[in-house]
Structure 1
Amino acid sequence: MLEKWTLFKKASRFGVIPVMLIPVVLGTAGAYVWQGVFHPFLFVITFIGAAAAHLFSNMVNDLWDFRNGTDTEAQHTPGAISTNSGFLSGGVMRESLFALLTWGLLAVAAGCGLLLSLYIGWEILWFVAGGALIAYFYVAPPLRFGYRGKGYSELAIFLAFGLMPVLGAYFVQTGAFSLKPVLLSLPGGLLTTLLLFNHHFLHWRADRQAGKRTLVVVWGERRALIFSQVLLYISYASLIVCVLLHILPIYALLALLTAIAPIRIYRSLRPENPSEAYLPLMGASQRASVRCGAVMTAALLIQGLF
């Protein structure tokens, strides 16, 4: 049983799940602080549904990148670093079983959404349907907007890992929409978008060979690296805006410290770098996204308690 759980965690890339769950907690904290409401049962269902949706997104990406030949190309391109689980491209798991697990996760997410709709209204199903469509058509035909290189994939990531989980979690608790959770979603959502953008540096040459036109492929490494740095600064500028608008307390500015590590790594990079040079940037980007969201959440909860 333990071995199966270990395999599942590797196949679904379970380790990156905090980038989805922290926005859910953040939106819930906002509802508690601003509206004084907290429904534990609804929070647990939202948490489980969001986790399943994120793991579905990871696995369906692997499934279609394998079918599209992108993962195979990454294995055969010198210097490219593959970011998929390797379960399909490495022959670890049959495609049929991998697909069964993938759609099983979607069923769990959809079931949680249906259960929530019985308690708070059908509007929550917009979040469920929107998240599922973004996850699936990110790499699946005929849309495959993650392959088009026009910023569609970056917008999709921001919606799926920023706006939708924060606003959706807030709506689950309050039954209402508000501008506050929208603004609250900006720092974490943009940092997660940055994380997904930066991972393209690891295999952009293989993506180009496979016809996957990410912005790194379209712009080239030099221009994409400049954009990556600009996106980092915009992310933290949005945190300052949230404090200035009293959406977050002033001590939430401690989250600015999480920018130090990625800034240091940017300064060590050249306009053109081998793929492995971006591995530290990937790690720093993920930690910045998670830690910034965690500090924002803690700041909100402290404000609510005192």
Structure 2
Amino acid sequence: MTTKSVAPSNSANKLWFAAIKPPMYSVAVMPVWVGTAVAFAETRAINTAIFITYLLASIFILAWMNLSNDVFDSETGIDANKHHSLVNLTGDKSLIFWLGNAFLALGILGSSAIAWWQKDFTLLAIVLVGCALGYTYQGPPFRLGYQGVGEIICFICFGPLAVSAAYYSQTQSWSSTSLTASIIIGITTSLILFCSHFHQVKDDLAAGKRSPIVRLGTARGAQLIPWFCGFIYALTLLFTLLGLFPIQTLLIFASLPFAIQLTRHVQAYHNQPDKVSNCKFIAVALHFWSGLLFGLGFVL
């Protein structure tokens, strides 16, 4: 692997696209969509202004997480070979740090606005807990992602916390169905992070990052992919049979081709960084379509 700061084979546009990561923002959208869909299924009502405000707040907070992670990773040297790091592209770590903080402020401002409208600051408290937990993923002195627990943090932040917060923003109450639905979203979100490690084992090892793939090896990690995917569909079916989910949520099975594609791709190329590197985008597609169809089941 090269240690140059610029990859000549990649165009500037491709590098910037990879740095900004537009497809990854479905990670912020799907929890809000599913939590709101469950609220609609139970109340047959939706507050559009709150939905849009909280959706934008979630996107801003994810932007903060992405930017701050680039900053924190630049400090450990793990991104030395990551040509699409925003810090590497701009050469200005301070700029990216404060831009990230600006997005965080916007996200908290949006959540605060909802809390003010509703005269209930529970939503804001959930958001702040999620932000604090998200900081521990890469932020010093915690850097828990370097200890291999990033997937657990991801599951909690984008599963139970995010989906429950979206539900609460609409109903100002709690729901066992919303909490159960958050498990599905939490798994698919954590799967994206899990898949992002396959192509960077050497860099992770050099920086002392003990990601799950570093600990397990790429072959054993690849063997876990069908289990992760299987849980998504098995749990949906189980909770539907138990009456927690409406039968329409079985629409999620239409996303099964993405799960099959992801499983086959990772198992075929798990030890070939150049070929396996795009598996996280297949995982994003699985996350998006499974979440969209799952939430649509509640709406219908």
For the aligned pair, the TM-score class normalised by the smaller chain equals 0.7 to 0.9
Instruction: Tell me which residue corresponds to 1:66.
Output: 74
Q: CA RMSD in A?
A: 2.2
List per-residue Cα deviations over 1:63-112 (Å, max 9, x = no partner).
Answer: 1011111101xx1xxxxxx4x7422124x241121112100000001111
1:148-159 → structure 2 map (5 Å cutoff): 148-149=147-148, 152-159=149-156
List per-residue Cα deviations over 1:214-256 (Å, max 9, x = no partner).
Answer: 1111122222222233212112222212322334332322322
AA matched with 1:198: C
Instruction: Tell me which residue corresponds to 2:194.
Output: 197
Determine if the alignment matches structure 1 residue 219 to structure 2 residue 243: no
- Change over 3 Å in CA distance of 1:119–1:241 after alignment to 2: farther
Q: C-alpha separation between the residues in 1 aligned to 2:15 and 2:274?
A: 26
Determine if the alignment matches structure 1 residue 260 to structure 2 residue 268: no
Instruction: Tell me which residue corresponds to 1:144.
Output: 143
Determine if the alignment matches structure 1 residue 294 to structure 2 residue 266: no
1:74-223 → structure 2 map (5 Å cutoff): 75=81, 82=82, 85-90=84-89, 92-120=90-118, 121-149=120-148, 152-223=149-220
Q: Please give the secondary structure, in 2, of the residue aligned with 1:253.
A: helix
- Change over 3 Å in CA distance of 1:135–1:9 after alignment to 2: farther
AA matched with 1:15: P
Of 274-283 and 218-227, more deviation after overlay is shown by 274-283
- Change over 3 Å in CA distance of 1:109–1:265 after alignment to 2: closer
Aligned length: 285
AA matched with 2:293: V
Determine if the alignment matches structure 1 residue 19 to structure 2 residue 16: no
Are the counterparts in 2 of residues 61 and 135 from structure 1 also a CA contact under 8 Å? no
Of 49-58 and 227-236, more deviation after overlay is shown by 227-236
Are the counterparts in 2 of residues 262 and 281 from structure 1 also a CA contact under 8 Å? no
Are the counterparts in 2 of residues 251 and 299 from structure 1 also a CA contact under 8 Å? yes
Are the counterparts in 2 of residues 13 and 85 from structure 1 also a CA contact under 8 Å? no
Determine if the alignment matches structure 1 residue 51 to structure 2 residue 49: no
- Change over 3 Å in CA distance of 1:103–1:7 after alignment to 2: farther
Are the counterparts in 2 of residues 62 and 85 from structure 1 also a CA contact under 8 Å? no
TM-score by length of 2: 0.87
Are the counterparts in 1 of residues 136 and 142 from structure 2 also a CA contact under 8 Å? yes
- Change over 3 Å in CA distance of 1:174–1:147 after alignment to 2: same
Q: Please give the secondary structure, in 2, of the residue aligned with 1:88.
A: helix
How far off its partner does 1:271 sit? 8.4
Identity rate of aligned residues, in percent?
25
Q: C-alpha separation between the residues in 1 aligned to 2:79 and 2:298?
A: 41
Q: C-alpha separation between the residues in 2 aligned to 1:132 and 1:194?
A: 20
Are the counterparts in 2 of residues 28 and 43 from structure 1 also a CA contact under 8 Å? yes
Instruction: Tell me which residue corresponds to 2:37.
Output: 29
Of 205-214 and 257-266, more deviation after overlay is shown by 257-266
Instruction: Tell me which residue corresponds to 2:227.
Output: 230
Q: C-alpha separation between the residues in 2 aligned to 1:166 and 1:193?
A: 14
How far off its partner does 1:297 sit? 1.7
- Change over 3 Å in CA distance of 1:264–1:128 after alignment to 2: closer
Structure 1: tracts of 5 or more residues without a match: 1-5, 76-81
Are the counterparts in 2 of residues 221 and 271 from structure 1 also a CA contact under 8 Å? no
Q: C-alpha separation between the residues in 2 aligned to 1:36 and 1:265?
A: 36
AA matched with 2:62: H
Instruction: Tell me which residue corresponds to 1:78.
Output: none
- Change over 3 Å in CA distance of 1:264–1:94 after alignment to 2: closer
TM-score by length of 1: 0.86
Q: Please give the secondary structure, in 2, of the residue aligned with 1:203.
A: helix
